[in-house]
Amino acid sequence: MLNVVLVQPEIPANTGNVGRTCVLAGARLHLVGPFGFDLSDMAVRRAGLAYWHSLDLVVHANWDAFVRDALGVELGTPLPSGTHLLTKIGARTYDQAAYHDGDWLVFGRESAGLDQQLIAANPDRCERIPMVGDEALVDADRWHVRHDELHPELRRDICGNFVDPREGQISSLNLSNAVAIVLFEALRQQGFPGLR
């Protein structure tokens, strides 16, 4: 079973969509607090999440509790293999990763993503979903062209990716879409029926 982890989710509709996707895919959903919304039974019913009772859900009070209780490691130590940190600034793409039963697909909150210190401490666990803005950089990598010759305004981020410092943020997908893309790639690699 794959584990989808949402760290400090802020938007209930995204969490609801991710939960529905997890039910359909047979994945376990881990919610790591604090949350930007109410998880009470009344709130879930009011949101129309009729499938919520079918969801394999584990709630963790905070990141420290998740690392200790779910991953079984001490804080400050490297995350175990099988932990995939999905971030806009991952050095490799999600489809370059190998997914296995029991892996952890970790996504950050909608407004800020994963903690930058977590990313910096685990760059080999970081993955991203490529988007249109990545194309020129991929071509430069393929032809071994120096990025600063192609794009002198670009600078490296903490994972070694080239970003435009003039922009406050790198564009990203909606959280529930990102989870679906990565989860279905992981299921495809595991031979899930109907996915090739």
* Residue entry with tokens 């909606």: 174
Gap between the Cα atoms of 156 and 40, Å rounded: 42
- pLDDT(111) > 70: yes
CATH of 3-131+174-189, one of 3.10.560.10, 3.40.1280.10, 3.30.365.10, 2.130.10.30: 3.40.1280.10
Q: Is the pLDDT of residue 31 over 80?
A: yes
pLDDT digits (tens, 9 = 90+) for 149-162: 444 455 555 444 55
How confident is the model over 47-60, as a mean pLDDT? Answer: 86
| C-alpha dihedral sign at 175, 177, 180, 183 | negative
* pTM summary value: 0.80
Band of the pLDDT at 53, cuts 50, 70, 90? confident
Position 114: which residue type?
A: L
Task: Give 62's pLDDT tier (boundaries 50, 70, 90).
Answer: very high
Instruction: Quote the pLDDT of residue 45.
Output: 64
Q: Which pLDDT band, with edges at 50, 70 and 90, does 47 fall under?
A: low
pLDDT band at 75 (very low <50, low <70, confident <90, very high): confident
User: What is the DSSP pairing of strand 92-93 with strand 104-107?
Assistant: unpaired
What band does 91 get if pLDDT is binned at 50, 70 and 90? confident
Total residue length of the chain: 196
Q: How far apart are CA 72 and CA 28, in angstroms?
A: 17
Residues 179, 114, 63: CA angle, nearest 5 degrees: 100
Over 60: is that where the pLDDT of 98 sits? yes
Cβ atoms of 59 and 52 closer than 8 Å: no
| Closest of 107, 81, 76 to residue 182, by C-alpha | 107
% residues pLDDT > 70 (the chain): 75
Instruction: Compute the average pLDDT of residues 96-119.
Output: 94
Ranges of CATH 3.40.1280.10 domains, the chain: 3-131+174-189
Whether residue 175 has pLDDT greater than 80: yes
Three-state DSSP state, 115: coil
